[in-house]
Protein backbone atom coordinates (compact mmCIF):
# COMPACT_ATOMS: atom_id res chain seq x y z
CA UNK A 1 0.00 0.00 0.00
CA UNK A 2 2.81 2.41 -0.78
CA UNK A 3 1.75 5.74 -2.14
CA UNK A 4 5.24 7.12 -2.08
CA UNK A 5 5.36 9.57 -4.95
CA UNK A 6 8.94 10.48 -4.13
CA UNK A 7 10.68 7.17 -4.65
CA UNK A 8 10.74 7.21 -8.48
CA UNK A 9 12.97 10.25 -8.65
CA UNK A 10 15.78 8.61 -6.71
CA UNK A 11 18.64 7.69 -8.96
CA UNK A 12 16.71 8.70 -12.06
CA UNK A 13 19.27 10.25 -14.35
CA UNK A 14 17.84 8.91 -17.61
CA UNK A 15 15.66 11.35 -19.56
CA UNK A 16 12.17 11.40 -18.10
CA UNK A 17 9.51 10.50 -20.61
CA UNK A 18 7.24 13.45 -21.28
CA UNK A 19 4.40 10.96 -21.57
CA UNK A 20 4.80 10.12 -17.90
CA UNK A 21 2.34 12.67 -16.64
CA UNK A 22 3.99 15.82 -17.96
CA UNK A 23 1.81 17.65 -20.42
CA UNK A 24 3.93 20.79 -20.81
CA UNK A 25 7.57 21.41 -21.49
CA UNK A 26 8.07 22.69 -17.96
CA UNK A 27 11.19 21.52 -16.16
CA UNK A 28 9.79 22.71 -12.85
CA UNK A 29 6.17 23.35 -11.90
CA UNK A 30 5.36 25.11 -8.64
CA UNK A 31 1.74 25.20 -7.53
CA UNK A 32 0.00 26.70 -4.51
CA UNK A 33 3.19 26.92 -2.47
CA UNK A 34 2.78 28.23 1.08
CA UNK A 35 5.51 28.62 3.63
CA UNK A 36 5.73 29.98 7.16
CA UNK A 37 8.45 30.93 9.62
CA UNK A 38 6.72 30.63 12.97
CA UNK A 39 3.61 32.75 12.63
CA UNK A 40 4.85 34.71 9.60
CA UNK A 41 3.29 33.75 6.31
CA UNK A 42 6.28 34.01 3.93
CA UNK A 43 5.14 32.36 0.66
CA UNK A 44 1.53 32.83 -0.39
CA UNK A 45 0.04 30.47 -2.96
CA UNK A 46 3.08 30.83 -5.12
CA UNK A 47 2.75 29.36 -8.61
CA UNK A 48 5.02 29.50 -11.64
CA UNK A 49 6.79 27.25 -14.15
CA UNK A 50 10.39 27.05 -15.25
CA UNK A 51 10.21 26.13 -18.95
CA UNK A 52 12.63 23.42 -20.04
CA UNK A 53 15.88 24.53 -21.64
CA UNK A 54 15.27 28.22 -20.87
CA UNK A 55 16.44 30.83 -18.39
CA UNK A 56 13.77 32.02 -15.98
CA UNK A 57 14.76 34.95 -13.81
CA UNK A 58 12.91 35.53 -10.57
CA UNK A 59 13.13 39.10 -9.33
CA UNK A 60 12.07 40.71 -6.10
CA UNK A 61 13.27 43.14 -3.47
CA UNK A 62 15.00 42.18 -0.23
CA UNK A 63 12.93 39.99 2.03
CA UNK A 64 10.10 39.08 -0.36
CA UNK A 65 10.84 35.37 0.12
CA UNK A 66 13.11 34.45 -2.80
CA UNK A 67 15.57 32.40 -0.76
CA UNK A 68 12.74 30.80 1.21
CA UNK A 69 11.26 29.73 -2.10
CA UNK A 70 14.55 28.19 -3.25
CA UNK A 71 15.04 26.44 0.09
CA UNK A 72 11.57 25.00 -0.33
CA UNK A 73 12.41 23.85 -3.85
CA UNK A 74 15.54 22.14 -2.52
CA UNK A 75 13.76 20.53 0.44
CA UNK A 76 15.93 22.39 2.95
CA UNK A 77 12.73 23.67 4.55
CA UNK A 78 9.56 21.59 4.51
CA UNK A 79 6.75 22.77 2.28
CA UNK A 80 3.68 23.64 4.35
CA UNK A 81 1.27 23.41 1.41
CA UNK A 82 1.45 23.15 -2.35
CA UNK A 83 3.42 21.05 -4.80
CA UNK A 84 6.70 21.03 -6.69
CA UNK A 85 7.15 18.90 -9.80
CA UNK A 86 10.42 18.23 -11.57
CA UNK A 87 10.05 16.98 -15.15
CA UNK A 88 6.48 16.02 -14.30
CA UNK A 89 7.37 14.12 -11.12
CA UNK A 90 6.21 15.16 -7.69
CA UNK A 91 9.23 16.01 -5.53
CA UNK A 92 7.36 18.11 -2.95
CA UNK A 93 8.51 15.95 -0.05
CA UNK A 94 11.75 14.52 -1.45
CA UNK A 95 14.92 14.88 0.62
CA UNK A 96 17.49 17.42 -0.60
CA UNK A 97 19.93 14.72 -1.74
CA UNK A 98 17.16 13.04 -3.70
CA UNK A 99 16.53 16.30 -5.52
CA UNK A 100 20.21 16.62 -6.34
CA UNK A 101 20.22 13.07 -7.68
CA UNK A 102 17.08 13.82 -9.63
CA UNK A 103 18.98 16.56 -11.44
CA UNK A 104 18.74 19.84 -9.52
CA UNK A 105 21.92 21.86 -8.96
CA UNK A 106 21.75 24.60 -6.33
CA UNK A 107 24.01 27.61 -5.86
CA UNK A 108 22.94 29.09 -2.50
CA UNK A 109 22.94 32.76 -1.63
CA UNK A 110 26.26 33.71 -0.08
CA UNK A 111 27.91 30.79 -1.91
CA UNK A 112 28.38 28.51 1.11
CA UNK A 113 31.54 26.89 -0.15
CA UNK A 114 33.65 24.96 2.34
CA UNK A 115 36.36 27.47 3.33
CA UNK A 116 38.82 24.95 4.79
CA UNK A 117 38.60 22.51 1.90
CA UNK A 118 40.58 23.00 -1.30
CA UNK A 119 38.96 24.04 -4.55
CA UNK A 120 39.31 20.45 -5.76
CA UNK A 121 37.70 19.07 -2.60
CA UNK A 122 34.84 21.56 -2.91
CA UNK A 123 34.24 20.41 -6.48
CA UNK A 124 34.39 16.77 -5.41
CA UNK A 125 31.72 17.51 -2.78
CA UNK A 126 29.48 18.32 -5.73
CA UNK A 127 30.10 14.78 -6.96
CA UNK A 128 29.40 13.13 -3.62
CA UNK A 129 26.33 11.29 -4.84
CA UNK A 130 28.11 9.89 -7.92
CA UNK A 131 30.21 6.73 -7.99
CA UNK A 132 33.73 7.07 -6.57
CA UNK A 133 36.35 8.45 -8.95
CA UNK A 134 33.81 10.20 -11.16
CA UNK A 135 35.85 12.95 -12.81
CA UNK A 136 35.08 16.63 -12.40
CA UNK A 137 33.46 17.63 -15.73
CA UNK A 138 35.90 19.45 -17.99
CA UNK A 139 33.40 22.12 -18.93
CA UNK A 140 33.62 23.58 -15.41
CA UNK A 141 37.28 24.45 -16.06
CA UNK A 142 36.52 25.67 -19.56
CA UNK A 143 33.98 28.05 -18.08
CA UNK A 144 36.03 29.09 -15.08
CA UNK A 145 39.74 28.51 -15.86
CA UNK A 146 40.73 30.14 -12.57
CA UNK A 147 39.41 27.08 -10.72
CA UNK A 148 41.94 24.83 -12.45
CA UNK A 149 44.82 27.08 -11.58
CA UNK A 150 43.69 27.21 -7.95
CA UNK A 151 42.83 23.56 -7.41
CA UNK A 152 44.95 23.17 -4.29
CA UNK A 153 44.07 26.52 -2.71
CA UNK A 154 41.63 26.62 0.18
CA UNK A 155 38.19 27.83 -0.74
CA UNK A 156 38.37 30.44 2.01
CA UNK A 157 41.47 31.99 0.42
CA UNK A 158 39.65 32.77 -2.84
CA UNK A 159 38.14 36.16 -3.65
CA UNK A 160 34.36 36.50 -3.43
CA UNK A 161 34.02 36.25 -7.20
CA UNK A 162 36.21 33.16 -7.36
CA UNK A 163 34.16 31.59 -4.57
CA UNK A 164 31.01 32.27 -6.58
CA UNK A 165 32.57 30.55 -9.59
CA UNK A 166 33.49 27.65 -7.32
CA UNK A 167 29.93 27.42 -5.99
CA UNK A 168 28.58 27.33 -9.54
CA UNK A 169 31.21 24.76 -10.51
CA UNK A 170 30.25 22.60 -7.53
CA UNK A 171 26.59 22.71 -8.57
CA UNK A 172 27.54 21.81 -12.16
CA UNK A 173 29.63 18.83 -11.12
CA UNK A 174 26.52 16.63 -11.13
CA UNK A 175 25.55 17.75 -14.65
CA UNK A 176 22.17 18.99 -13.40
CA UNK A 177 19.18 19.31 -15.69
CA UNK A 178 17.92 22.25 -13.64
CA UNK A 179 20.35 24.81 -12.23
CA UNK A 180 19.07 27.13 -9.49
CA UNK A 181 21.12 30.20 -8.55
CA UNK A 182 20.39 32.57 -5.68
CA UNK A 183 21.73 36.09 -6.38
CA UNK A 184 25.05 35.04 -7.93
CA UNK A 185 26.09 38.67 -8.53
CA UNK A 186 25.66 39.77 -4.91
CA UNK A 187 28.85 41.44 -3.70
CA UNK A 188 30.80 40.37 -6.82
CA UNK A 189 33.09 42.65 -8.83
CA UNK A 190 31.90 43.62 -12.34
CA UNK A 191 34.53 41.70 -14.32
CA UNK A 192 33.54 38.43 -12.66
CA UNK A 193 29.86 39.23 -13.08
CA UNK A 194 30.59 39.29 -16.83
CA UNK A 195 32.29 35.88 -16.60
CA UNK A 196 29.32 34.47 -14.72
CA UNK A 197 26.91 35.97 -17.25
CA UNK A 198 28.84 34.35 -20.10
CA UNK A 199 28.87 31.02 -18.28
CA UNK A 200 25.12 31.05 -17.65
CA UNK A 201 24.44 32.04 -21.25
CA UNK A 202 26.63 29.22 -22.49
CA UNK A 203 24.83 26.70 -20.29
CA UNK A 204 21.49 28.00 -21.53
CA UNK A 205 22.59 27.81 -25.15
CA UNK A 206 23.66 24.21 -24.73
CA UNK A 207 19.88 23.65 -24.68
CA UNK A 208 19.76 20.73 -22.28
CA UNK A 209 19.73 22.72 -19.06
CA UNK A 210 16.91 24.72 -17.49
CA UNK A 211 17.95 27.63 -15.31
CA UNK A 212 16.15 29.42 -12.49
CA UNK A 213 18.07 32.58 -11.67
CA UNK A 214 17.07 34.63 -8.63
CA UNK A 215 18.37 38.19 -8.97
CA UNK A 216 17.92 41.79 -7.88
CA UNK A 217 20.47 43.13 -10.37
CA UNK A 218 18.07 44.09 -13.13
CA UNK A 219 20.49 44.45 -16.07
CA UNK A 220 22.05 41.06 -15.41
CA UNK A 221 18.64 39.42 -15.08
CA UNK A 222 17.34 41.14 -18.20
CA UNK A 223 20.30 40.14 -20.32
CA UNK A 224 19.81 36.45 -19.50
CA UNK A 225 16.05 36.08 -19.13
CA UNK A 226 13.93 34.10 -21.56
CA UNK A 227 11.12 34.42 -19.01
CA UNK A 228 10.73 36.53 -15.91
CA UNK A 229 8.76 36.25 -12.68
CA UNK A 230 8.40 39.07 -10.14
CA UNK A 231 7.70 38.40 -6.46
CA UNK A 232 6.36 40.82 -3.87
CA UNK A 233 5.59 39.85 -0.27
CA UNK A 234 5.63 36.14 -0.98
CA UNK A 235 3.43 36.31 -4.06
CA UNK A 236 4.02 36.24 -7.80
CA UNK A 237 2.75 39.61 -9.01
CA UNK A 238 3.96 39.61 -12.63
CA UNK A 239 5.43 37.27 -15.18
CA UNK A 240 6.21 37.31 -18.87
CA UNK A 241 8.85 37.06 -21.54
CA UNK A 242 12.34 38.37 -20.90
CA UNK A 243 12.07 40.40 -24.09
CA UNK A 244 9.11 42.29 -22.58
CA UNK A 245 10.77 43.29 -19.31
CA UNK A 246 11.35 46.89 -20.40
CA UNK A 247 7.84 47.29 -21.76
CA UNK A 248 6.39 45.71 -18.62
CA UNK A 249 8.40 48.14 -16.46
CA UNK A 250 9.84 45.38 -14.36
CA UNK A 251 12.72 47.61 -13.26
CA UNK A 252 10.29 49.84 -11.39
CA UNK A 253 9.16 46.88 -9.33
CA UNK A 254 12.66 46.55 -7.94
CA UNK A 255 13.30 50.21 -7.19
CA UNK A 256 13.09 50.95 -3.49
N1 LIG B 1 15.12 31.28 9.28
C2 LIG B 1 14.23 32.28 9.35
N3 LIG B 1 13.41 32.44 10.42
C4 LIG B 1 12.50 33.43 10.48
N5 LIG B 1 12.30 34.34 9.51
C6 LIG B 1 13.08 34.23 8.41
C7 LIG B 1 14.08 33.22 8.28
N8 LIG B 1 14.71 33.37 7.08
C9 LIG B 1 14.12 34.44 6.50
N10 LIG B 1 13.15 34.97 7.29
C11 LIG B 1 12.26 36.09 6.95
O12 LIG B 1 11.45 35.68 5.88
C13 LIG B 1 11.30 36.72 4.91
C14 LIG B 1 11.79 36.26 3.57
O15 LIG B 1 13.20 36.03 3.63
P16 LIG B 1 14.05 35.51 2.41
O17 LIG B 1 15.43 35.32 2.87
O18 LIG B 1 13.37 34.35 1.79
O19 LIG B 1 13.94 36.77 1.41
P20 LIG B 1 14.77 37.12 0.10
O21 LIG B 1 13.78 37.57 -0.90
O22 LIG B 1 15.65 36.00 -0.25
O23 LIG B 1 15.64 38.37 0.56
P24 LIG B 1 17.11 38.85 0.08
O25 LIG B 1 16.91 39.52 -1.23
O26 LIG B 1 17.53 39.82 1.14
O27 LIG B 1 17.99 37.66 0.00
C28 LIG B 1 12.04 37.91 5.47
O29 LIG B 1 11.11 38.73 6.15
C30 LIG B 1 13.03 37.30 6.44
O31 LIG B 1 13.33 38.21 7.47
MG1 LIG C 1 17.68 35.81 -0.47
Q: What is the pLDDT of residue 215?
A: 96
Which tens digits make up the pLDDT trace of 66-109?
999 999 999 999 888 999 999 999 999 999 999 999 999 999 99
- Report the alpha-carbon distance of residue 47 to residue 216 in Å, rounded: 20
206 occurs within a structural domain: yes
Which tens digits make up the pLDDT trace of 107-154?
999 999 999 999 999 999 888 877 777 889 999 999 999 999 999 999
Percent of the chain with pLDDT over 70: 90
Q: What is the overall mean pLDDT for the chain?
A: 89
Residue ID of nearest Cα to ligand 1 atom 3: 37
12 occurs within a structural domain: no
46 Cα: distance to centroid of ligand 1 (angstroms): 15
104 occurs within a structural domain: yes
51 occurs within a structural domain: yes
Q: What is the pLDDT of residue 64?
A: 96
57 occurs within a structural domain: yes
Radius of gyration of the chain (CA): 18
Task: Give backbone dihedrals phi and psi of 111, rounded to 5 degrees, phi first.
Answer: 75, -50
Number of domains the chain is built from: 1
Residue ID of nearest Cα to ligand 1 atom 17: 67
Q: What is the number of the ligand closest to the CA of 181?
A: 2
pLDDT confidence of 237, banded at 50, 70, 90?
very high
63 Cα: distance to centroid of ligand 2 (angstroms): 7
- Report the alpha-carbon distance of residue 58 to residue 89 in Å, rounded: 22
Residue ID of nearest Cα to ligand 1 atom 18: 65
pLDDT confidence of 1, banded at 50, 70, 90?
very low
144 occurs within a structural domain: no
73 occurs within a structural domain: yes
248 occurs within a structural domain: yes
Domain harbouring 34, CATH code:
3.40.50.300
Q: What is the pLDDT of residue 123?
A: 95
Q: What is the pLDDT of residue 134?
A: 82
Our mutation pick for probing the ligand 1 site, out of 34, 37, 109, 215, counting the most ligand atoms within 8 A of Cβ, is 37
Structural domain of 192: 25-110+174-254
Q: What is the pLDDT of residue 80?
A: 87
Q: Which of ligand 1's atoms lies nearest the C-alpha of 70? A: 18
64 Cα: distance to centroid of ligand 2 (angstroms): 8
- Report the alpha-carbon distance of residue 213 to residue 219 in Å, rounded: 13
Which tens digits make up the pLDDT trace of 8-39?
333 333 333 334 444 458 999 999 999 999 98
CA dihedral defined by 191, 136, 114, 208, rounded to 10 degrees?
A: 60
Average pLDDT over residues 234-249: 96
- pTM score, whole prediction: 0.88
* Ligand 1, CB cutoff 6 Å, lining residues: 37, 42, 60, 62-68, 109, 216
Amino acid sequence: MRTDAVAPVVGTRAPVSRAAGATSAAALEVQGLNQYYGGSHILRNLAFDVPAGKVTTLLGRNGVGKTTLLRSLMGVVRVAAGSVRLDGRDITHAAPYERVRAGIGYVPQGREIFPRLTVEENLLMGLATRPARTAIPERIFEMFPVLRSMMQRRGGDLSGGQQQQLAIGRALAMNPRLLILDEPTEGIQPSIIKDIERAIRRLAESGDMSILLVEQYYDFARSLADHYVVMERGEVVMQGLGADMERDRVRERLAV
